[in-house]
């Protein structure tokens, strides 16, 4: 796909070297910013799937999006600022064509001034108790709230937001105190005033920590916000990634990194260890523990570098490193407060929660396999490294050794990933043939096929989805549905992301001394083999089950600027028609769901959640706030029974995992929790009902059909 995009830009590579940019004293490296804008503009207008004019409408989008990106909660800008900014509202397109960043610099520099003022605002407001008897309210749907008319109203916006945070903490503290008094009547009771003071202090601490993180952000972070306001005008999935974000993206897609295998978090000025990744170098070494504080970092025998007060991203750069290298951490131990130097040899760290895993369950005397696929992962820089297609094939073989009679693949919350692996995974369940159609702008669709005649699994297949199953998940589910190879179950419809993105390093189009980041650009739409797009519509389940998302605003259809649904010609393919009783099983399941008090309760709960989601107003009178909270708690209690579901099924790991679990207590604990959750999952239970009822056609029936 990359080579396809490079062809229109050959002229760009020749032209861009002749462009010169004037210096801007407001930025240390103005040339870099303007180079990025120049290359992005050309990439978008020449390579994006849709042809979009950079006109007044485009300008308005960038204007609104950038202001919302900086001040979405209406804490900084006033109408006076907006009046000044608005002179550029319809001319940003012209500025970008001339590589003029006047609008960005005006808003950005004003924003930096406002950040400094904000610390004074919240500090002064939180010094004194609020009037908790005053009848007033706040609407937290800030899209409906205008920018403050003046500084006085801006301070009042701050006051209301901080008051809401404080009220919430007071209520939490009072509820906790009541629980403790129930258990221990002699527990020292605090007055409302004492708890109120503690709550304000906690809010102050939270705000201080927030602004420490804000002040750590650099120019490139804010400029990235502006650039994303520009590129998002083409569609919601086209994004600019600065070098740090691109590194995280690659790590997320591959499920691996090189380092010590610890998740870190900034708390105040200190870098805390919040999790050790099972099987990682730090976990194996054994001295580093959760809640330890890392004070200094040294590379092998090098001089220790003090990271106290350092921004987290920068600290991580020094802690991470190539496989086989040594890092020495000076650590303050949580357990006794002592300071120790811990030596760890970096290694490849696999993010286990990213990868395929499976479980085995027995139902009515037969065994079934459940495969959880959280992402369609792949390593872009190492073709020999594991990917979701290779792992899925291995897992199926292992389950076949367990003599399972059917497979249930769980794609719930799977947001997609690699198109290549989605096609290969679909090929594990069909003989050969088309899986998906992809289309560049202005061209005919290209049919992507499974070229492998081998079928990894010929048995019964059920695929579980929900409203957050997207992109590659939808390609796979749609192909299985079109071939009539699997029963698709779950939410009414999947997310509806039917576009393909390519990641283009900007330095490929401009030779610059520093890393300019990358553009994730929408270059294709994909279509089902039946011709319909999955864009916006998603994949409709053969058996729809109520979920908590059923009435919520989730999905592509709710995104501003989403590309529309359309269709192309159907590809040539032959349905497998794998089941002799497909319609009968589907209808029986629908009847069970409709008659199930549990599923009905979930449906009522989903309606209630939608109603609560639409109500964005909160009382700032403490008593009224508590009454409203009590009402919500009372109403929600009747829905809790739906989630106390418990099947009589027992889930276990496949036999190949037994030695691993014996030697890895963390992995065993994770698997035990997963198995317990599977037993309490009403969707898994109904999917297994369907799987157990499906009857495969005999070869004679298939021929006859």
pLDDT tens-place string over residues 576-607: 989 999 999 999 999 999 999 999 999 999 99
Average pLDDT, the chain: 88
What pLDDT shows up at residue 22?
38
672 located within any domain: yes
The rounded distance, in Å, linking the Cα atoms of 632 and 168 is 14
The rounded distance, in Å, linking the Cα atoms of 666 and 276 is 10
Spacing of C-alpha 638 from chain mean position? 30
The rounded distance, in Å, linking the Cα atoms of 364 and 424 is 32
pLDDT tens for each residue of 472-514:
999 999 999 999 999 999 999 999 999 989 899 999 998 888 8
Q: CB burial class (10 A; 0-12, 13-18, 19+) of residue 504? A: buried
13 located within any domain: no
What pLDDT shows up at residue 640?
83
Q: Are residues 382 and 303 in the same domain?
A: no
Asked if the model's pLDDT at residue 703 lies above 80, the reply is no
Beta bridge partners of 363: 366
Nearest alpha-carbon partner for 682 in 609, 596, 607: 596
Helix axes 56-71, 102-125, angle to 10 degrees: 30
Contact yes or no for 702/594 (Cβ under 8 A): no
10 located within any domain: no
What pLDDT shows up at residue 344?
92
Number of domain units in the chain:
3
Residue 8 pLDDT grade (very low, low, confident, very high; cuts 50, 70, 90): very low
Contact yes or no for 686/545 (Cβ under 8 A): yes
Asked if the model's pLDDT at residue 291 lies above 90, the reply is no
Q: Are residues 332 and 425 in the same domain?
A: no
Strand 460-465 to 487-490 pairing: parallel
Residue 5 pLDDT grade (very low, low, confident, very high; cuts 50, 70, 90): very low
Q: Are residues 546 and 480 in the same domain?
A: yes
Q: Are residues 700 and 583 in the same domain?
A: yes
CATH of the domain at 447: 3.90.226.10
- The owner of tokens 């006794």 is 336
308 located within any domain: yes
pLDDT tens for each residue of 413-442:
899 989 999 999 999 999 989 999 999 999
Q: Mean pLDDT over residues 227-242, rounded?
A: 93
Q: Are residues 449 and 554 in the same domain?
A: yes
The rounded distance, in Å, linking the Cα atoms of 94 and 1 is 31
What pLDDT shows up at residue 282?
87
CB atoms within 10 A of CB 497: 28
The rounded distance, in Å, linking the Cα atoms of 281 and 272 is 17
Tell me 557's DSSP state: G
The kind and range of the H/E element at 283 are helix 281-285
Residue 339 pLDDT grade (very low, low, confident, very high; cuts 50, 70, 90): confident
Lowest mean pLDDT, pick from 212-226, 328-342, 685-699:
328-342
What pLDDT shows up at residue 279?
66
Choose one of 350, 372, 398: the last residue of a domain. 350
Contact yes or no for 358/397 (Cβ under 8 A): no
Residue 350 pLDDT grade (very low, low, confident, very high; cuts 50, 70, 90): low
Residue 33 tokens read as: 């910013």
Asked if the model's pLDDT at residue 85 lies above 70, the reply is yes
Residue 688 tokens read as: 């297994």
Residue 77 pLDDT grade (very low, low, confident, very high; cuts 50, 70, 90): very high
Buried-state track 134-162, b at ≥16 Cβ within 10 A, e below 16: eeeebeeebeeeebbeeeeebbebbbbbb
Q: Are residues 380 and 422 in the same domain?
A: yes
106 located within any domain: yes
Choose one of 302, 325, 350: the last residue of a domain. 350
pLDDT tens for each residue of 135-178:
999 999 998 899 999 999 999 999 999 999 999 999 989 988 99
Residue 157 tokens read as: 């916006």
42 located within any domain: no
Q: Are residues 368 and 344 in the same domain?
A: no
Residue range of the domain that includes 270: 256-350
Choose one of 303, 326, 350: the last residue of a domain. 350
Residue 409 tokens read as: 């693949």
What pLDDT shows up at residue 352?
66
- Sign for the pseudo-dihedral over CA of 134, 140, 143, 144: negative
622 located within any domain: yes
Lowest mean pLDDT, pick from 332-341, 356-365, 415-424, 691-700:
332-341
Residue 219 pLDDT grade (very low, low, confident, very high; cuts 50, 70, 90): confident
What pLDDT shows up at residue 488?
98
State what percent of residues in the chain have pLDDT above 70.
Answer: 92
Asked if the model's pLDDT at residue 338 lies above 80, the reply is no
Q: Are residues 558 and 660 in the same domain?
A: yes
Residue 4 tokens read as: 């396809």
Q: Are residues 362 and 346 in the same domain?
A: no
Residue 9 pLDDT grade (very low, low, confident, very high; cuts 50, 70, 90): very low
333 located within any domain: yes
Q: Are residues 406 and 514 in the same domain?
A: yes
CATH of the domain at 279: 2.30.42.10
pTM above 0.85, yes or no: no
E strands along 451-573, which residues? 460-465, 487-490, 499-505, 518-527, 543-544
Largest CA distance in the chain: 82
Asked if the model's pLDDT at residue 298 lies above 80, the reply is yes
pLDDT tens for each residue of 648-694:
999 999 999 999 999 888 789 889 989 999 999 999 999 999 999 99
Q: Are residues 131 and 184 in the same domain?
A: yes
Asked if the model's pLDDT at residue 528 lies above 80, the reply is yes
Q: Are residues 70 and 215 in the same domain?
A: yes
């Amino acid at each position: 796909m990359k080579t396809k995009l490079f062809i229109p830009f050959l002229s760009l590579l020749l032209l861009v070297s002749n462009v010169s940019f004037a210096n801007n004293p407001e930025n240390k490296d103005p040339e870099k910013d303007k180079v990025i804008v120049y290359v992005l503009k050309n990439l978008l207008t020449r390579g994006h799937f849709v042809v979009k004019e950079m006109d007044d409408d485009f300008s308005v989008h960038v204007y609104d999006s950038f202001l919302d990106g900086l001040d979405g909660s209406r804490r900084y800008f006033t109408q006076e600022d907006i009046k000044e900014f608005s002179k550029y509202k319809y001319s940003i397109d012209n500025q970008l064509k001339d590589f003029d960043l006047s609008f960005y610099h005006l808003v950005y520099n004003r924003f930096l001034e406002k950040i400094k003022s904000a610390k004074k605002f919240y500090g002064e407001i939180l010094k004194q108790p609020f009037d908790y008897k005053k009848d007033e309210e706040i609407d937290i749907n800030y899209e409906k709230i205008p920018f403050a008319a003046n500084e006085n109203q801006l301070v009042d916006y701050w006051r209301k937001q901080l008051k809401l945070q404080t009220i919430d903490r007071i209520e939490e503290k009072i509820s906790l105190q009541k629980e403790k008094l129930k258990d221990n009547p002699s527990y020292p009771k605090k007055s409302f005033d004492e708890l109120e003071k503690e709550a304000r202090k906690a809010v102050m601490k939270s705000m201080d920590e927030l602004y420490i993180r804000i002040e750590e952000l650099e120019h490139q972070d804010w400029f990235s916000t502006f650039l994303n306001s520009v590129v998002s005008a083409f569609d919601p999935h086209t994004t600019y990634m600065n070098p740090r974000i691109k590194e995280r993206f690659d790590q997320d897609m591959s499920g691996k990194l090189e380092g010590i295998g610890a998740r870190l978090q900034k708390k105040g000025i200190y870098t805390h260890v919040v999790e050790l990744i099972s099987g990682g170098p730090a976990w194996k070494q054994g001295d580093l523990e959760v809640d330890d504080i890392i004070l200094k970092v040294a590379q092998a025998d090098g001089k220790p570098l003090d990271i106290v007060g350092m921004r987290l991203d920068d600290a991580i750069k020094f802690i991470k490193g190539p496989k086989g290298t040594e890092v020495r951490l000076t650590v303050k131990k949580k357990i006794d407060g002592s300071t120790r130097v811990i030596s760890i040899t970096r290694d490849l760290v696999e993010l286990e929660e990213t990868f395929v895993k499976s479980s085995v369950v027995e139902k009515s005397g037969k065994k079934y396999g459940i495969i959880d696929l959280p992402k369609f992962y792949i390593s872009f820089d190492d073709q020999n490294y594991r990917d979701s297609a290779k792992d899925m094939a291995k897992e199926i073989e292992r389950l076949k050794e367990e003599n399972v009679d059917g497979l249930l693949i769980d794609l719930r919350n799977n947001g997609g990933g690699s198109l290549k692996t989605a096609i290969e995974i679909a090929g594990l369940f069909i003989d050969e043939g088309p899986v998906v159609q992809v289309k560049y702008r202005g061209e005919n669709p290209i049919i992507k096929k499974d070229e492998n005649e081998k079928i990894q699994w010929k048995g019964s297949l059920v695929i579980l989805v929900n409203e957050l199953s997207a992109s590659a998940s939808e390609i796979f589910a749609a192909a299985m549905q079109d071939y009539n190879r699997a029963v698709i179950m779950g939410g009414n419809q999947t997310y509806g992301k039917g576009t393909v993105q390519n990641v283009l390093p900007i330095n490929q189009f401009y030779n610059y001394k520093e890393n300019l980041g990358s553009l994730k650009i929408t270059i294709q739409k994909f279509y089902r083999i039946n011709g319909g797009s999955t864009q916006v519509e998603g994949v409709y389940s053969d058996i729809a089950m109520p979920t908590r998302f059923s009435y919520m605003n989730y999905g592509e259809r709710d995104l501003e600027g989403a590309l529309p649904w359309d269709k192309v010609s159907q590809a040539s393919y032959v349905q497998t028609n794998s089941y002799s009783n497909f319609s009968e099983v589907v209808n029986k399941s629908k009847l069970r769901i409709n008659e199930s008090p549990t599923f009905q309760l979930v449906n009522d709960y989903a309606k209630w959640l939608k109603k609560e989601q639409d109500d964005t107003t909160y009382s700032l009178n403490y008593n009224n706030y508590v009454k409203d909270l009590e009402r919500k708690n009372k109403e929600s209690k009747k829905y809790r029974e739906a989630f106390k579901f418990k099947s009589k099924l027992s889930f276990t790991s496949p036999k190949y995992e037994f030695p691993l679990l014996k030697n890895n207590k963390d992995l065993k604990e994770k698997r035990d929790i997963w198995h317990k959750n599977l037993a309490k999952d009403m969707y898994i239970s109904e999917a297994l009902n369907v799987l157990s009822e499906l009857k495969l056609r005999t070869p004679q029936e298939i021929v006859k059909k």
